Amino acid sequence: MIYEKLPQTDLDVSKICLGTMTWGQQNTEEEGHAQMDFALDKGVNFFDTAEMYSVPGRAETQGSTERIIGNWFTKTGHRDKVILASKITGPSPTFKHIRENLGFSKEAIQEALHKSLKRLQTDYLDLYQLHWPERNANFFGQRDYKHNPDERWQDNIAQILDSLEEFVTQGKIRHIGISNETPFGLFRYIEETRNRNSKVVSVQNAYNLLNRKDEIGLSEILLRENIGYLPYSPLGFGQLTGKYLDGYPKNSRVSLFPNYNRYHKENGFRATRKYKAIADEYNLSLTKLSLAFVNQRPFVTSTIIGATSLDQLKENIDSVEVHLSDEILKKIDAVHEEIPNPAP
């Protein structure tokens, strides 16, 4: 395994981060425990979860993933071997079953954090992330920002940080991160932390061969300001494994949950076929090509992978052993030039 320093911290995180959002819905608790056993044995020391998981979010399964992880900690005693990240749910009319006070008020953060800690059976989180902004922004399948002049959001970044810092001081949070954020949002957090002890150390956004929009503005900020980047959906909900090129396999995510189709537009398939041709030319699986590309980006700290089987998990973790040559990268960039960011 390769390890990277999570910027502005003393934490060495594995280049592969174990994503967990299927545990409790697509995966049983037993399967989740098996994945954690396997990943830890392979050197993966970084796990990511969220209070709203498993996904898709439902009242019946909300919090199930954190409970599965907490039960594994109690069973194995491995809490000290894992760098653990979780997320607080942002405002949404869809997820009122989680809490009535969705968002990042002081009261909301206190309630969400304490419930997560209880489910996870731990006293602290190494990284606590805001799952998505309170303001209108382009995330979850939206390519462009569309301004709403009637938006009621008022800049409350300082107040959010004040609340989070209290829990850092108490030792319940070690570090603060954000997710599904834009360059504007990241820079506002950076501005507000210039003279604070607590910094925003990471951004968790969707990033893959079909969605490289964070290279346009965000990546420069990450590199110049020393902020970690934790890309999720590096395989585009499975599209970049190639398994959807000839139909929809039974029990695959998009078969089970058809609204998870943002990577399935015509240009997404066109680009995927071209990337598969490159992988075939160099005797690589499309999965390993796709993950190795993300792993090698200079602004990427740790790639969040998710799997529903141990075979998938093994291939995903093994991607750290693949190094793409300059020749392969030039061919990838040629496809990107022809079909840029087909899936937001």
Tell me the CATH number at 48: 3.20.20.100
Residue 305 domain flag: yes
pLDDT score for 256: 67
Residue 147 CB coordination number (10 Å): 6
Instruction: Report the number of distinct structural domains present in the chain.
Output: 1
Helices (H) and strands (E) in the chain, counts: 11, 10
Which run of H or E residues covers position 169? helix 157-170
CA distance 22 to 205: 18
CA distance 293 to 190: 28
Residue 264 domain flag: no
Residue 25 CB coordination number (10 Å): 19
**Range of lowest pLDDT (39-43, 148-152, 305-309):** 148-152
Q: Rounded to the nearest 10 degrees, how much is the dihedral formed by the CA atoms of 35, 37, 41, 45?
A: 80
pLDDT in tens, 249-301: 776 677 667 677 788 889 999 999 999 999 999 999 999 999 999 999 999 99
**Which positions are catalytic?**
53
Residue 102 domain flag: yes
Residue 26 domain flag: yes
pTM of the model: 0.94
Residue 251 domain flag: no
Average pLDDT of the segment spanning 9-30 = 97
Residue 148 domain flag: yes
CA distance 230 to 17: 8
Take residue 30 and report the two structure tokens written for it: 């037993």
**Range of lowest pLDDT (92-101, 177-186, 289-298, 309-318):** 92-101
Residue 17 domain flag: yes
Residue 181 domain flag: yes
Please report the DSSP string for 135-165 in residue order.
S--S-SS--S----TT------HHHHHHHHH
- Residue 83 lies in domain: 3-239+293-323
